[in-house]
Amino acid sequence: MQKQIAFLAQGNNTKFMGPVTDWARERYAVQVPALGLDEGDAELVRAVLETADLTWVEWVQDLAVLAASLPRRGKLVLRVHSFEAYTGLPALVDWERVDALVVVAPHVTEVLRLRTPDLAERVRVVVVPNGVDLQRFTLRRNPQRTGKIAFVGALRHTKNLPMVLQCFAVAAQKDQKLTLHLAGQYEGDELEQTELAVYLHQLIHTLGLDQRVFFHGQVADIPAFLEDKDQLLSCSLRESFGYNIAEAMARGVSPVVHHFPGALSLFPGERIFGTVDEAARLLLAPPPPGPLLRAYVAERFSLAHQQAALATLFGELLG
């Protein structure tokens, strides 16, 4: 009989689970029950744990704390992303009752250790890198420079949009052809969304960029959006991985990445900056060849790399 694998996601947030569940469905009997973790969900979680050979909990939040506290028949795997590591919730998990903690990059573990210094002694920590679909993110057909700089991601404080605008403004003063194109929608609570939107639009006007910054909203086809972009600018305060950066590189779009914790372990050091002036220099300089950028992703972040790590982990846990 096939092993029974259950995937549970806090608040039904499954946006990063696709490659994992697709891989698992080819090998196991998979269920992904919908739950929002309200009062009625505790019994659903209990029932899943009592029947599954392996339960994978996405996001180390309340759901993970609950799952680790309940009786179960099979193995329990938790996957942490980035924001949870900055909260107190992981410290509430009974790690001795968890079979593996999955991180997508080693630096996430270092953040977790700020609150749980003995984490590595209490639970097995496994790095399963994210994978980029290289069939979807192919090299751009026309790599000629257009002066278009891309931003891809949620419009919220952690993405450091004010710094994005300031970096672009310094470069734009020296090259009048540069334009900035933002793909993403405002996220967060009402206060964060309104506060950031008002501030950004005032800053754009103050910097004299009204005709050079364009908001595209939520973009469904990111590969198409990147087709005519020269570079991608990322100023995030934190990233566990940075899909937007790796996917842009796969398309041959050069990344210009602020030095968030862990950036140097993920992306080429020559594409990482610390100051606004350094970012502007990167934005103005000729970008690296597209095939070189794509090769970097293929060697480190292909779906094959992710699937190999999953096969090892599941094989060891399930036998």
Model pLDDT for residues 250-274, shown as the tens digit of each residue: 999 999 999 999 999 999 999 999 9
Q: CB–CB of 116/94 below 8 Å?
A: no
Question: Percent of the chain beyond pLDDT 70?
Answer: 98
**Does 136 map to a domain?**
no
Tally Cβ neighbours within 10 Å of residue 315: 10
What 3-state class would DSSP assign to 92?
A: helix
Whether residues 296 and 308 share a domain: the answer is: no
Whether residues 45 and 103 share a domain: the answer is: yes
**Residue-wise DSSP of 125-180:** EEE----B-TTTSPPPS------EEEEES-BSGGG-HHHHHHHHHHHHHH-TT-EE
- Residue matched to tokens 């909203």: 217
- Residue matched to tokens 């060697």: 299
Nearest residue to 252 via CA among 208, 297, 209: 297
What value does the mean pLDDT take over residues 58-65? 93
Number of domains in the chain: 2
Whether residues 159 and 107 share a domain: the answer is: no
Nearest residue to 21 via CA among 36, 37, 32: 32
Q: What is the mean pLDDT of the chain?
A: 94
Whether the predicted pLDDT of 194 surpasses 90: yes
Token pair of 29 as six digits: 């009997």
Whether residues 265 and 155 share a domain: the answer is: yes
Give the range of the structural domain holding residue 61, as residue numbers without chain letter: 4-131+302-318
- Residue matched to tokens 């069939």: 135
Tell me the pLDDT band of 249, cut-offs 50, 70 and 90: very high
What CATH code is carried by the domain that includes residue 198? Answer: 3.40.50.2000
Tally Cβ neighbours within 10 Å of residue 79: 24
Whether residues 184 and 287 share a domain: the answer is: yes
Whether residues 182 and 57 share a domain: the answer is: no
**Does 139 map to a domain?**
no
Measured torsion, CA atoms of residues 239, 245, 250, 254, in degrees rounded to the nearest 10: -150
Type of residue found at 70 = L
Q: CB–CB of 109/193 below 8 Å?
A: no
| Predicted local confidence at residue 11, as pLDDT | 84
Tally Cβ neighbours within 10 Å of residue 292: 13
What value does the mean pLDDT take over residues 147-163? 97
Whether residues 279 and 311 share a domain: the answer is: no
- Whole-model pTM: value is 0.91
- Residue matched to tokens 């992904």: 32
| Predicted local confidence at residue 305, as pLDDT | 94
Q: Which residues pair with 314 in a beta bridge?
A: none
What value does the mean pLDDT take over residues 146-158? 97
**Does 250 map to a domain?**
yes
Token pair of 15 as six digits: 């946006």
What value does the mean pLDDT take over residues 188-192? 96
Whether the predicted pLDDT of 37 surpasses 60: no
* CA gap 60, 159 in Å, rounded: 21
What value does the mean pLDDT take over residues 214-233? 97
* CA gap 38, 80 in Å, rounded: 21
Whether residues 234 and 286 share a domain: the answer is: yes
